[in-house]
Amino acid sequence: MTAANGWTADEMMTVAAARALPDRAVCFVGIGLPSSAANLARRMHAPDAVLIYESGCIGAKPGTLPSSIGDGVLSDTADAVIGVPEIFAYWLQGGRIDVGFLGAAQIDRFANINTTVIGGYQAPKVRLPGAGGAPEIAANCGEVVITLRHGRRSLVEEIDFITSLGHGDGGDHRERLRLRGRGPGTVITDLGVLQPDPETKELTLTSVHPGVEAADVAAETGWDLRVAPDLDVTPPPSDEELSVLRELQG
Amino acid sequence: MSRFAGLAEAVAAHVGDGDTVAVEGFTHLISFAAGHEIIRQGRRDLTLVRMTPDVVYDQMIGAGCARKLVFSWGGNPGVGSLHRFRDAVENGWPRPLEIDEHSHAGLAERWRAGAAGLPFGVLRGYSGTSLADHTLTIAPIACPFTGEELAAVPALNPDVGIIHAQQADRAGNVMLWGISGVQKECVLSSRRSIVTVEEVVDSFEPRVNGVVLPSWTIDAVCVVPGGAHPSYAHDFSERDNDYYAAWDPISRDRRAFEAWLGGMRDGVAA
């Protein structure tokens, strides 16, 4: 899908995710779109954001996007390279990460994430890669930003497996489990931005990307989607955001 | 004390049918050479352990070496699915694969407990997830000091741990650097260990994030330059991203995979 002025829906999603990363934030970055977004942010408004990759690279500053979580360009440019048990124990569980960027195969209306199986666990229809670092990223980071492509098979009424907890059953579920982080605060898709209602924690459409109507988003969502009364339109990617992103992607 | 050996000899001596085997490496320093040798020697009924089973585990699973997989993320990094792994889990081909599935934080803690000689590790993890319901090796435990509920996971102590590293010295000590993953924990947790290395040197230079594993923690050192390919050895090689991408169509198709397997067994390609 390409808009009239030349950006794609995936580029809009990446740019919107980049804007969600504040400067000086310490960010736990997954590979793929989250990594593109975090590196774009570092070149735009967040030069002092600290990117942490789960391979043990703290403060990585890759010049081109890595294709795996453990490319040499990450360790070469990092402030520190440490072992994997330390990353998860001292840094993530130690409460030192502000923002976790996660992808997802499926989410539900409370931003619970499935990256494990479609279908039953014992005899799955589709076996997905599994958890990786996500369950503890979702639990322990100050805030979580989720990116995924919109569709009725990805934003679903009920997920088959909770790989990583979002807002559970909604309301104060996270507080009851005594999780340290606030959980998913923003879900960014190729159609718009969803944010949890402050009370119920149900995801609500708060912004649509340019050219997208709220009804389009609702039609692509597997539950009865709530729409914010003051619905925004996401500013389109600027020329600078686009050129920097494309340069990063080589 | 470690002993220098040929890779075929080391695998024959240390890896038996039914063993629990870890060929570790977090993207970096993965001993593909050892995985391929295990396939060539036709090992069966292995319990394979790895945080990030990637292409070499897809190959071993497709070749029928594995009965069970202990893991925390099973994909082809930057590419997509491991289709041999999926075929085994979804369709039982070439044989069913039992799984023991964790998060990275949990499996890293299992490695650390194994290296420390403790019966279990503990973490603030798995709360509210379905993993806690399905994985038998995750149990709730109360902190004896504060009462906080935490997750306990049992130590990993494989029969054989296998890693790649950059260098050995002539006494059989091993040094690796760059992304160190759980290489140290893998060797220290395992009852026996094999390390494939790029080269042998008279003495080690100090390195950033250098890890030295003394000779007496290792059983066999095998000099296999390029033994991590298509993974890489920092300062010796680059990750061969094209190989990972090219694996996808082979992995998707049983016939293409079997053709690859035949070639690999004959030593035509790796």
A83, A127, A133 member nearest B182 (Cβ): A83
Contact assessment for residue B163 and residue B195, using Cβ atoms and an 8 Å cutoff: yes
Contact assessment for residue B21 and residue B159, using Cβ atoms and an 8 Å cutoff: yes
pLDDT exceeds 70 at position A5: no
User: How far does the CA of residue A213 sit from the closest CA of chain B (Å)?
Assistant: 31
A85, A127, A174 member nearest B90 (Cβ): A127
**pLDDT tens digit sequence for A121-141:** 999 999 999 999 999 999 999
Contact list in A for residue B179 (CB cut-off 8 A) is 55-57, 70, 74-75, 81
SS3 state at A132: coil
Test B129 with A179 for CB contact under 8 angstroms: no
Backbone dihedral region for residue A171 (phi beyond 0: left; psi -120 to 50: alpha; all else: beta): left
CB atoms within 10 A of CB B136: 7
pLDDT-wise least confident of A30-44, A80-94, A187-201, B227-241: A30-44
**Which pLDDT belongs to residue A69?**
78
> Which fold, B3-102+157-257?
Glutaconate Coenzyme A-transferase (3.40.1080)
Bridge partner list, A155: A107
Contact assessment for residue A136 and residue B124, using Cβ atoms and an 8 Å cutoff: yes
**Which pLDDT belongs to residue A68?**
81
* Residue A26 contacts B where some CB pair is shorter than 8 Å: no
Domains and CATH numbers, chain A: 9-25+82-248 (3.40.1080.10)
**Which pLDDT belongs to residue A30?**
81
User: How far does the CA of residue B149 sit from the closest CA of chain A (Å)?
Assistant: 9
Contact assessment for residue B126 and residue B151, using Cβ atoms and an 8 Å cutoff: yes
- Helix, strand, coil % over all residues of chain B, rounded to 5: 30, 25, 40
Test B185 with A85 for CB contact under 8 angstroms: yes
Give the pLDDT band (50/70/90) at residue A176: very high
**Which pLDDT belongs to residue A3?**
52
- C-alpha A72: how far from its chain's center? 24
Q: Which of A128, A136, A159, A201 to mutate to test the interface with B (most CBs of B within 10 A)?
A: A136
**Which pLDDT belongs to residue A67?**
81
**Which pLDDT belongs to residue B181?**
96
ipTM score: 0.94
* Residue A1 contacts B where some CB pair is shorter than 8 Å: no
Question: Is A54 an annotated catalytic residue?
Answer: yes
pLDDT exceeds 80 at position A16: yes
pLDDT exceeds 90 at position A73: no
Smallest CA–CA distance from B80 into chain A, residue: A129
Tens-digit pLDDT string for chain B (270 aa): 889 999 999 999 999 999 999 999 999 999 999 999 999 999 999 999 999 999 999 999 999 999 999 999 999 988 999 999 999 999 999 999 999 999 999 999 999 999 999 999 999 999 999 999 999 999 999 999 999 999 999 999 999 999 999 999 999 999 999 999 999 999 999 999 999 999 999 999 998 789 999 999 999 999 999 999 999 999 999 999 999 999 999 999 999 999 999 999 887 545
d(CA A97, CA A104): 20
Bridge partner list, B194: B162, B220
HSE-up of A167 (CA within 13 Å, CB side)? 24
**Which pLDDT belongs to residue A18?**
97
